[in-house]
Amino acid sequence: MLEEVEQSLMAVIADIAWSQWLAALFLLVMGAVLASLASRGIARVMQARTSRHHSVMLRRLVFYVVLAIFVMAAMREAGFSLDVLLGAAGILTVAIGFASQTSASNMISGLFLLVERPFELGDYIEVEGTIGEVVGIDMLSVKLRTPDNLYVRIPNETLIKTRVVNRSRFPIRRIDLTVGIAYAEDVERVESLLLGLAKREVCVLQEPKPFVLVTAFAASSVDLQFSFWVAREQVLEGRSSMMVAIKRELDRAGIEIPFPHTSVYAGSHSEPFRIELIRNQSNKQQDEIDVSETD
């Protein structure tokens, strides 16, 4: 019995066309190597002529096209009928398309994003309250890295349907700060102080010019809008440093910045709070001395 099994196994091994399978394996390895080289070469050529986004997409397209050609050649060399495989692949593609309509919608949305180019790799965008740097743009989704180093995946269909804010599309950004001053203060004086502060700050651009507007008469303050322009790389530090400088400048000039006060109220049925003034022993002795001298 064991001898029959060994003879059958040897017959199967002898029937395998080892030369064809080795040739197919060689085609697969060579295809992977050539696809990698071709994709890197096209990326270097297109890097200076197109955007980083298009360069990455074209690199992937070239890689998969070259690899698919060698895979088909390897399967044909191994003895597979390409007509049967293509027919099965067509049926499988239709079935997968009906089963995964969301993925098909994301792929179509990815093509629209590729043509429209609302953002590119390295841009900071905001989508439904999520802010992050674009680190990947694929056919199904866009990958973001948030400022606190989180990895966020957003489907392409969501990017087509919702509002997308590109925070780094233009080289400069405007910062709007609300400054509240007391009603007794001189508005024109405060405006002059703020504009002078904008001239002294290094991060503030002088063109476009900074400006100050009166925006509201609030309950306890006159609200001013102080607007100035900075480079897009200095938005966070420019806002923080300017707020610190405004506080220091208004304190130096004696300008009052009003703030809300809180009163404690225990209800209509509670008795009034009793307040007692407590003096230290030295004050009491001084009062006794003053009384004795008066007598």
pLDDT by residue (tens digit) across 102-160? 667 777 887 788 778 888 888 899 998 899 999 988 878 899 999 899 999 999 888 88
Q: Which domains does the chain have, with CATH numbers?
A: 17-99 (1.10.287), 117-166 (2.30.30.60), 172-253 (3.30.70.100)
Q: pLDDT-derived band of residue 190, with 50, 70 and 90 as boundaries?
A: very high
- Nearest residue to 135 via CA among 197, 52, 216: 52
Q: 201-259 pLDDT, tens per residue?
A: 888 998 899 999 999 998 889 999 999 999 988 888 899 999 999 999 999 999 988 88
Task: Say what the pLDDT of residue 249 is.
Answer: 92
Cβ count within 10 A of residue 75: 16
Does position 86 have pLDDT exceeding 70, yes or no?
A: no
pLDDT band at 194 (very low <50, low <70, confident <90, very high): very high
Q: Report which of residues 170 and 94 the model is more confident about.
A: 170
For 164-186, the pLDDT digits (tens) are 999 888 999 999 999 999 998 99
pLDDT of residue 146: 92
pTM value is 0.58
Under the banding of pLDDT at 50, 70 and 90, the label for residue 291 is very low
Residue with the two structure tokens 């001013």: 224
Instruction: Give the pLDDT of residue 101.
Output: 62
Burial 86-103 (b: 16+ CB within 10 A, else e): eeeeeeeeeeeeeeeeeb
Q: What are phi and psi of 3, to 5 degrees?
A: -65, -35
